[in-house]
Amino acid sequence: MGDEAHIVLSRDAIAPAYAAERTTSAIMRPTLAGEVGALANLGWSIRSQGTATAELETREPFNWWLAYAGSLMLLGIGGFIYAASWLISSRVRLFLHEEDDGSVTRWGDTQYASRQQLDRADRDAIASSRATESQRWRNDRVLLALGAFAGVTMVYAAIWFFLVLGVMAALG
């Protein structure tokens, strides 16, 4: 126990170096941050990230019909086999890297991410078309109500006109 040297670093000696490292490594480039944010909104979780790179991960959806069919075919064990194989093989990873020119390069399971983004774009397009169709139908209902009101008014006007004509003819 005698001549061992003990080095004690104070928090004040470590803090500036740690703060400098955190501020330089915590800032992600804007284009990459936008791409990571869009994928995170689709359900991807961020495994690691740096200033120019990011690794994201998600799982493919569980196919309940396949699990049910496996249970029926293999007397209940097939569902468990499918669930175990899904847990082992359903992990999807995507690696992103922003080049110096600002373009983001993807590698890994890019087809799954592209398919997810296309599905999201299709859902958004369908939702916006339903919203405009709903607005159009609202406008059509207003026009239909105005047309019905005008038609009923014309029928009443015609009845009164012929009633007045009949009264004048009877009197005259």
Instruction: Classify residue 8: in a domain, yes or no.
Output: no
Which tens digits make up the pLDDT trace of 53-108?
899 999 888 888 888 888 888 887 888 888 898 888 888 899 999 888 888 888 88
Which secondary structure element, helix H or strand E, spans residue 172, and what is its range? none
> Is the C-alpha dihedral spanning 146, 151, 152, 156 positive or negative?
positive
Q: Would the pLDDT of 22 be above 50?
A: no
How are strands ordered across the β-sheet holding 53-59?
A: 45-49, 53-59, 91-98, 104-108
Tens digits of residue pLDDT in 4-16:
544 444 444 444 4
In a domain, 51, yes or no: yes
pLDDT at 19 exceeding the cut of 70 = no
124-171 confidence digits (pLDDT tens): 888 888 877 777 777 778 778 888 888 889 998 889 888 888 888 888
Asked if residue 84 belongs to a domain, the reply is yes
Residue 143 lies in a domain: yes
Residue 139 pLDDT: 74
Question: 117: domain range?
Answer: 28-171
Q: pLDDT at position 26, please? A: 56
pLDDT the model gives residue 14: 45
Residue 80 lies in a domain: yes
Task: Please count the structural domains in the chain.
Answer: 1
